[in-house]
Amino acid sequence: METIELSGTLGLIATVILTLNILLGMMLSTAYKNKSWWQRFPEKIRSININDLHNYTAYVALLFVLTHIFLIPFDPSSKFKLIDIIWPLYAPHQPNIVLLGTFSLLALIIVVITTQKFIKRKMSFRIWKNIHLISYATCILFIVHGLLMDPELKDRPTDWIDAEKLLSEICGIVLITAFAIRYKYHLSISKNK
């Protein structure tokens, strides 16, 4: 496997892990333990600490994203330097799409850093929550980045039925559906107050 292919594979894995992470985060923001669907799961699953799993998936996803990024300049055919990823305005391939990935990375780092207990304790819950809501925009950015970026860095148009793109499309559909369900839950809670 070439370096650029490995980088793309790691990016796809990060997309799946980040999708799972956002779904876990949405679960945590609801009273999921009181729901009948949760009660139907086996005790072994219900005993999993969802908060810890949510945190660990964020760290693992960040590791995959960083590895995905740092591998790209090691492939000479990519023509990328590390600065092209950090400051992609003059990137050799699809600079606007790389910029979406860069913004996604920065947002992910901000969310992960502000979730650290010693930092979180210094903020009010409202400030922390508002910062944490960045994750919704972050997931849109990483899905769009994954959909539009040519995995071989040949600036080809998106092949919407390519297996890699289908995986990103499925993650996008899952997230949009989850957002709609979460918003509906928010509205129902607001009405009952």
Asked if pLDDT for residue 148 goes beyond 80, the answer is yes
Q: How far is CA 101 from the centre of its chain?
A: 10
Gap between the Cα atoms of 146 and 165, Å rounded: 7
Gap between the Cα atoms of 172 and 139, Å rounded: 8
25-47: pLDDT as tens digits: 999 988 788 888 888 999 999 99
Q: Provide the domain limits for residue 56.
A: 3-192
* Domains identified in the chain, total number: 1
First and final C-alpha spacing in the chain? 56
105-118: pLDDT as tens digits: 999 999 999 988 89
Question: Cβ contacts of residue 114 below 8 Å, gap of 6+?
Answer: 120, 123, 128, 131, 132
Are 108 and 138 a contacting pair, CB within 8 Å? yes
> Of the candidates 78, 77, 104, which has an alpha carbon nearest to the alpha carbon of residue 91?
78
User: Is pTM beyond 0.75 here?
Assistant: yes
Residue 1's pLDDT band, with cuts at 50, 70 and 90, is low
Look at residue 193 in the predicted model and tell me its pLDDT: 66
